Amino acid sequence: MNMAYEFTIISFCLLTVMNPCLCSHFSYYRHQDQTDILNISIPPDSTGVYIYDTKISILPARAFVTLDQLEYLSLSRNKIHTIHQDAFLGLGQLESLYLDANEITALTGNVFTILGNLKRLRLSRNKIQTIHREAFLGLGKLESLDLSSNAIKVVLGGYH
């Protein structure tokens, strides 16, 4: 049975450790047969987006370019294996990015560089084997990085 859920909650209160009540415009999307992120209609004033349990496998260039107010993006539990270098272009306000439980095998150079305000990055439970040394370049505000439950073997361009 295929079930699709798409709904938007306005003035949603999210309890967090850092901020007891963050009231924002959050969008949720779940559709088990969805394969293309560009086919998902996300309100441009969203500050938080959850996209999960889809068959999306590629994050193309400029996938979120119209979402310049986004602070929270969860792409957990999808089939993502490829992230284009410019996938996150336009997300200068993003503070939290969750890509856990996908099928990512490598982190290329500069993929997160544009996310200068990023504080939390979760990449756990993927299949990451290689990380380019410059993958996290420019993330000066990063407070939390979770790479647990991966099979990291090599850091390309690493220091000797």
Which structure tokens are listed for 143? Answer: 């407070």
Range of the domain at 58: 4-156
Residues of 106-123 as b/e, b for ≥16 C-beta within 10 angstroms?
A: bbbbebbebbeebbbbbb
Q: Domain with 41 in it: what CATH number? A: 3.80.10.10
Calculated CA dihedral for residues 109, 70, 39, 9, nearest 10 degrees: 150
Confidence (pTM): 0.82
Query: What is the number of structural domains in the chain?
Result: 1
Closest to 64 (Cα-Cα) out of 94, 87, 43 = 87
Ordered per-residue pLDDT tens for the chain, 160 residues: 333 333 333 323 333 334 434 445 788 877 777 788 878 888 999 999 999 999 999 999 999 999 999 999 999 999 999 999 999 999 999 999 999 999 999 998 889 999 999 999 999 999 999 999 889 999 999 999 999 999 999 888 755 4
Looking at the DSSP bridge assignments, the partners of residue 88 are none
